[in-house]
Structures are given as C-alpha cells and as structure tokens.
Structure 1
C-alpha cells in the first residue's frame, strides 16, 4: 500500500513496531527542526551528522549482507572500512607517501579493488570451514590491518595519518566549484537566531547527496537481492547449510559472493568517510567501529535492510547526541555514557525484541507474513489446477 496514495490504509497496514519506529522518527525530526530553527544546532553540523548516519548505514548494510543474509560472522568490519578509507586517501591526498593527486573516482576504484582482493584472501581458506574459523580469522585480520596502518610509515604515514584529502567532487564539472559559487545566505526564522548558509554548508550538502546516493543504491540492490532466488539460497545457507548443499547448491560459492558483497559495501563506507572528514588516521580503525556495526544490525533485525538503516541512525544518534551532555551540569563524564546507553539498548532488545525492531518479514516474498499480523498468503488452487492439469492420482 502506497503511503502517498492512501496514507490511512498504509498506516493501518503497519505493524506495531513499524508504527513505533515511524512515531519516534517523526518526533526526532521535529526535535531536530526545532534545534535548527532556534540555532541550537548548526545547519552544517546537522548535515555532517546526516553524513555520519549514512556512513554507519552503509557499514550496517555490508554486515547485514554477510551475517543477516548468510550467517557469516565477520569481526573485521573496521578492517574493510579502513581499507576503503586509506585506499582512497592514499590515491588522492596531497600528503600521501605513495601516490596522491589522483581523481577521487580513481581512489574509489582502487579502494574497492583492494577490498575485493583482501576479501578473497581471507575468504578462500576459511569459508569452506565452519563459521567459527571465519570469525577467528576476521578478528585477527582487523588487528593486522590496524597495526600495519599504524607502523608502516612509508605506506600510510603511521600515527600522523593522511591529510590534505580533497572533496569527492574535486575535478568534476560544476560540482567542484559549486560550494564557492553559491551565495552565502542568512535566514532569520526566529528573531535573534539567524541561520547562516555559507561555503561549508554547501560542501556538506554535496556530501549528504553523495552518501544518500551510495546508501540508496545499496539499499535497492540488497532489497532486490534479498527477494531473488540468490537471496533465498543465502537464507537457506544461514538456516541449514547441509540442506542447501543437499539441494545441489554450491554453498562455498554463495558464501564467497555474500562475503565479497558485504566487504565492498564496507569499503564504500570508508571511501565516503575519507572525503567527508578530509583526514584519516589509525584511530579510525578502532575495533569499536565493528562493535557499532554489529549493534546496529542486531538492533534493527538480522537480515532486514530497513533494520540496518534504522540501527545505523540510532548508533549515530547515541554516539553524537551524548556530546551535548557537556552543555548540562551533570556530575557524569558523557564519553562513557555512549557505551552505557548502547549496552542498555542491547539488553533491552535481547529481552523484549530478540528478532530486532524491524525484522525482515516485510522484505521477503510474502509481505503479509509479518510479525503479529496476517497469515502467509497461499494460492487458491494447486499448481496442477492452475495449469489445467489432470485429476487424482
């Protein structure tokens, strides 16, 4: 049911968790709008937060393509994120010790190719074995990549990181000069709280459009893949790999495809982060990035693309929202509050909603087979009757 065509019917068709998510989302958007209008939240910083939310959504999409679809336990999200970030940074940055100065599109291609090679190197020896081996190997891979980035100064500048990274649209016609050519605007909606739209705002707006493009294309691709025969094989592997193998499926090949797909999406998130932050360092490969991605997928619902998107937004809200606790006179350091709040979220989800806030039933073949509502649609007649076939055997 289309929300635009019949809003009442579309809302009535939503499950209780979907209504809850919709209500919370609308309330949060109104809160952000009020903060923007009153000047409590700068428009440039707001767009930066939207970019971060898109980046975490991409990380969640990548992990969901591996764990949610196929049941592959990957603890090296930060490693593939770092490969994407450093791959693009080292090809485009002025301070790059090995190359630099290339068009960001070249950096994007190089980052994805390196991520593909790394996924093959880690996947070939482990995906033929039990999931435990992939988990152990990926956990080691994350630390190896971080230590290489930290210690190999000739390659990555070590702890100094890579600076002088250009925007993603450098060298593009029109878009490369768009922020400078746009006029500065001063909007006064509420007296005494002007909204300033300058060059930095237009640069942030381009970044938001970029991540929306990346995330939108990825979401549609994964949604299509989830409903395809390929996606059904992945779900069978996740539920019972022996059954999929007994049905004649090459489970090793399918697991490799899923692992590579997820790794490329994670690297894409790293590429975007590089050109959003314009700096990348070893600290960006912290294992907490992997932890955040797992929390986002578990919170939203394993196998659910909508859930991965929702989980990524929640993670950024908690991570960045706690920074504003410094403005209040509370006797608590706000930094540890992030992990505390995320821990509370995990406990609450495991206790009251172990399948996630937005489980994937709506994204499967039978839209009516949703949590708590409707029954699975069945055909009115058998296959033989539909074909006009014969009678009793």
Structure 2
C-alpha cells in the first residue's frame, strides 16, 4: 500500500471517529440541557476517562509496539495510586503528608523498579512467560496491599488524599480535567515522537519477527525492557492521578477486570495506534458510565411513548451484566468488521516528511 493510500484510509477512519464522537457529544449536551446530567459529573467522568486513556497508552507501548503480553495493568495502576496515597494522605499509616509531586515521583520510581524486577527473568523467554508472571504479579500486589495493614491500611483503604492545585481559579472538576489533558498531551507527543524514531521501528520489528531484529545486531532484551518499563510508568502515572481524583483508594480498585477493560480498549482503538488508545479508553468509559442511566432512560422512554410494557420488559435487567454484554458485543463487532481497530496506526507511523514526499507525485499525476 502506498503512502497516499494509507493516508486516505487514515482520513476515512478519522472522519468516522469524529462523526461518532460528535454524536456522543451531542447526546451529552442534550442531556445537560434537559437537566438529566450535571456539568460537574460530566467533567469528573471525562477526567476519569483520561486516567483510563493513560492506562491504554501504557499498555499500547508494551503490546502494540513490542508485542509484550502484560496482564498486570491493574497492579501498576495500584502501585501508582498507593504510592501517592501513602505519601500524601494524613490518614496514611506512614503519616508523612508529603507534597503530591513526591507521590508522583515515587510512583514512577517504584513502578520502574517492579517492571525491571519482573522483566529480568521473563523477557528473555517466550511471550507467554511474561503473561503468566504479570498475571501472578497483579494478584501478589493486590494481596500484599490488602493484608499488610500496618503499611497499606489493608481493606480499610486510605482516605483524605489531597486534591490537585486547589489554588487555581477553577472548580476542582475542571482542574482535574485540565491536569489529565496535559498529561495525555505530553504522553501522546512523547510516544508519537518515539514511535516514528529508530527506537520505535526496531520495536515493531521485534513484535513481528524478533529473530530478524537479533540478526540485525539489536539487543532485543534491552529494547523490550525499555518498552515494558515505559509502559508500566505511564500506568503508574494514571493511578497516581486517579487517586487525586477519587480521593480514596482500597484494594478493590485493583481488580483484574480493570486489566480486561484496558486490553479491550487497546484492541478497540487499534493496536499500536496512539489516537486509537485515546478513542478506545474513552469508549470503554462511555459504556461503563452510560449504562448507569439505562433504567432512567427506559423509564423516561416508556412514559414519553406511553408504553408501560417497555418498562416491564427491561425491569429485571442487571446493569453490571449489561455492561459486560455491551463490551463483549463491541469486541465481536470490531473483530468482525474492523480487525485492525477503529483507528489503526497507518499514516501516524510515517514521518511527516515522508508523507509530503509521498503525496506530491500522486497529486501531480492526478492533475495530468
């Protein structure tokens, strides 16, 4: 496929994604106007979705770029969250009450250390060994946090976590959204630069054929370790932000279901696609939060249309089960009709200069 064809397909995918986002945004604005939704709730949900976008970006570095199967997303999310909570909260068993900056720095250092610790014995082996080890790591970290009460407060959790930038002339919901938007923008620009660099090209070679990369003289172990550590650090940053958003953390936030949702988000958006990570993370949050209003929507629709049978039909539906059903249907639809994801990488893997040089001959040919 030529550069021009790739760019055309990318534009078509972008247009479809923009149309879908516009529909969702229009529905949210309509619900705001009708008073069904409140602005603080919308801002908070967007900020929470931003944390999931960071998680998706972190996994995308590991799986999308390098082909590393990491099933410990929730673990690194928890490491970031607990690093901040233990160092900054007055209710922490440590009682340090440090500035949130130290919490973020600690989250980065601890997550990188744990990633190296698990990567050393597994990254030289087949991919499934990392999958098994990371799955075990997630459960070990959750159990340690739940059982070591003297260090982590155990199942009681940690509350009174300080808010971020309380002195800004914004509501706290708007401040949180601004902070996560800056984090996403910085991570996106960093990853796009790295993805198009020689480092990113070697990672894609490792993902498709590691033996070829070794034959070219590349130290694949070091490169895989770098990708694994980078992705884990991004996940920890997401957890560190989340705990300032939620102001409370306990072991139930580290459930394996979080890892499952993030994997779905990566596949949905498009493997190795930074734009797809943003779309996938926000789509999963839209499903999880949107289904909360399902009973209210059914009741409103039934009253408006005068169809009480509609209310009786959906009366016994469990919202939690509905969420899993919708996510499952979404996976089936994407695999069936868009196996590369809603926003596959395509042109974003190509350096801008190559795009311009590739597009110029096509334009000249069309004009003749």
Q: What is the TM-score normalised by the length of structure 2?
A: 0.88
| Structure 1 residue corresponding to 2:56, chosen from 42, 55, 60 | 60
Q: Tell me the equivalent position of 2:238.
A: 269
For 1:13 and 1:359, how far apart are their aligned partners in 2?
9
1:313 aligns with 2:282: yes
Deviations 1:296-340 (A, max 9, x none): 000011100001110000000000000001313422111111111
2:222 alignment partner, one of 246, 253, 258: 253
2:10–2:346 Cα contact (<8 Å) kept: no
2:164 to 154, 164, 168: 168
Residue 53 of structure 2 is aligned to residue 84 of structure 1: no
Shift, 1:233, TM fit:
0.4
Mapped pair 1:118 → 2:103: no
Partner of 1:291: 260
* Structure with the bigger percentage of helix: 2
How far is 1:368 from its partner? 11
From 44, 48, 56, give the equivalent of 1:48. 44
Instruction: List 4+ stretches of structure 1 deviating above 4 A.
Output: 11-14, 366-370
SS at match of 1:124: helix
Match among 129, 142, 146 for residue 138 of structure 2: 142
Corresponding residue for residue 129 of structure 2: 133
Q: Contact 1:362–1:369 at 8 Å: present in 2 too? A: no
| Distance in 1 between residues matched to 2:351 and 2:111, nearest whole Å | 35
Answer yes or no: is the 8 Å Cα contact 1:94–1:165 preserved in 2: yes
Q: Does the aligned pair in 2 maintain the 1:366–1:377 contact within 8 Å?
A: no
In the superposition, the TM-score normalised over structure 1's length comes to: 0.82
SS at match of 2:98: coil
Alignment CA distance shift 1:260-1:12 (3 Å)? closer
* Residue aligned with 2:121, SS: coil
In 2, the alpha carbon distance for the partners of 1:17 and 1:379 equals 22
Contact 1:361–1:367, Cα closer than 8 Å, also in 2: no
State the match for 2:195 in structure 1: 226
Secondary structure of the corresponding residue to residue 297 of structure 1? helix
Q: What are the residue-to-residue correspondences of 1:85-100 with 2, within 5 Å?
A: 85-100=81-96
Correspondence 1:177 to 2:167 = yes
What is the deviation of 1:37? 2.2
> Structure 2 vs 1, CA of residues 378 and 125 (structure 1 numbering), >3 Å: closer, same or farther?
farther
Distance 1:349 1:338 in 2: 17
- Give the SS at the match of 1:313: helix
Name the structure 1 match of 2:341: 356
Q: How many angstroms apart in 2 are the aligned matches of 1:104 and 1:345? A: 37
SS in 2 for 1:178: coil
RMSD of aligned residue pairs (Cα, Å): 2.1
- Distance apart, 1:369 and its partner CA: 10
Of 207, 218, 229, the match for 2:176: 207
Alpha-carbon distance in 2 for matches of 1:233, 1:240: 10
Q: Structure 1: any 5+ residue segments left out of the alignment?
A: 1-10, 170-175, 183-201, 371-375, 381-393
**1:188-207 alignment to 2 at 5 Å?**
202-207=171-176
Q: Distance in 1 between matches of 2:100 and 2:71?
A: 28
Provide structure 2 residue ranges, at least 5 long, that are not aligned to the other structure: 1-6, 299-310, 362-368
Question: How many angstroms does 1:41 deviate by?
Answer: 0.8
Please give the secondary structure, in 2, of the residue aligned with 1:248.
coil
Is 1:279 paired with 2:248? Answer: yes
User: Which whole-Å deviations, capped at 9, do the CAs of 1:229-260 have from their partners, x for residues lacking one?
Assistant: 10000000000000000000000000000000
CA distance in 2, matches of 1:369, 1:150: 52
Counterpart residue number, 1:333: 318
Alignment CA distance shift 1:257-1:325 (3 Å): same
SS at match of 2:95: coil
Q: Distance in 1 between matches of 2:149 and 2:189?
A: 39
Which residue of the partner structure matches residue 342 of structure 1?
Answer: 327
Count residues in correspondence.
Answer: 338
3-state DSSP of counterpart to 1:163: coil
**CA distance in 1 between partners of 2:360 and 2:36 (Å):** 56
